[in-house]
Amino acid sequence: DSGVTQTPKHLITATGQRVTLRCSPRSGDLSVYWYQQSLDQGLQFLIQYYNGEERAKGNILERFSAQQFPDLHSELNLSSLELGDSALYFCASSVDRLARANTGELFFGEGSRLTVL
Amino acid sequence: QQQVKQSPQSLIVQKGGISIINCAYENTAFDYFPWYQQFPGKGPALLIAIRPDVSEKKEGRFTISFNKSAKQFSLHIMDSQPGDSATYFCAASTGGTSGTYKYIFGTGTRLKVLA
């Protein structure tokens, strides 16, 4: 168990709808990353937050947005959903709060599988 | 320049054999090279990682070989076991010295080890 919790595990919705994926990072971790994994695709970096602030952006669509709250949990919002948005969405965390050190290791949750019909 | 190219896409190995997965990168600013292992239904987990100041790192049956001049690195799994069957991702990142990591992942290799 990585200590990273993602909800929901599975989500089925229709095109045009909006969904919110939630991530609770490992206790003490300040940084949260969101990744998208489609069939036969690697892990596509979407966005990173560090202690509530956006740190880096990847290939995140304008229809997608994210935020990290004061308690360090993060939400990924996906709107105007299209069939091609069907994927596994992973959250990962790093950077221990106390140590303020980043060993480089990402701790991944088990993902949220989104199916858009 | 931000890509990490991983091969092969899939690999079938007999039990006890050696599994080799290769990755190549372009950005010479990368200074941290981890490998992640992902089992079905699970998130990826760090397996082993190397920094460019060494050419090889070994942890148990898993070895990373790193060739800085060729900008290539590979994962070797010795005495492969059916329990090693998983998807393996290589990654490269900047920030190994500053602590602000930006990871680029390869496309993954599905390894199946036959009993």
Q: What is the pLDDT of residue A108?
A: 95
Average pLDDT over residues A51-74: 93
In this predicted structure, the answer to whether residue A33 has a pLDDT above a threshold of 60 is yes
Per-residue pLDDT tens digits for A83-114: 999 999 999 998 755 555 556 788 999 999 99
Chain B's closest residue to A42, CA to CA, is: B107
Q: Residue A40's pLDDT band (boundaries 50, 70, 90)?
A: low
Question: How many CB pairs lie under 8 A apart between chains A and B?
Answer: 58
CA distance A81 to chain B (A): 23
Q: What is the mean pLDDT of each run of 10 residues along chain B (115 residues)?
A: 88 98 94 93 93 93 96 97 97 71 89 96
Average pLDDT in chain A? 90
Rounded to an integer, what distance in angstroms lies between the CA atom of residue A94 and that of residue A46? 16
Average pLDDT over residues A58-83: 96
Which residues on B lie below 8 Å from A56 (Cβ)?
Answer: 102
Rounded to an integer, what distance in angstroms lies between the CA atom of residue B62 and that of residue B57? 8
* A110 backbone φψ class: left, alpha, beta (φ>0; ψ -120 to 50): alpha
Query: Residue B93 is nearest to which of A101, A104, A110, comparing CB atoms?
Result: A104
C-alpha of A88 from chain center = 10
Query: Which percentage of chain A shows pLDDT scores above 90?
Result: 72
Structure tokens at B5: 């190219």
Q: What is the pLDDT of residue A97?
A: 54
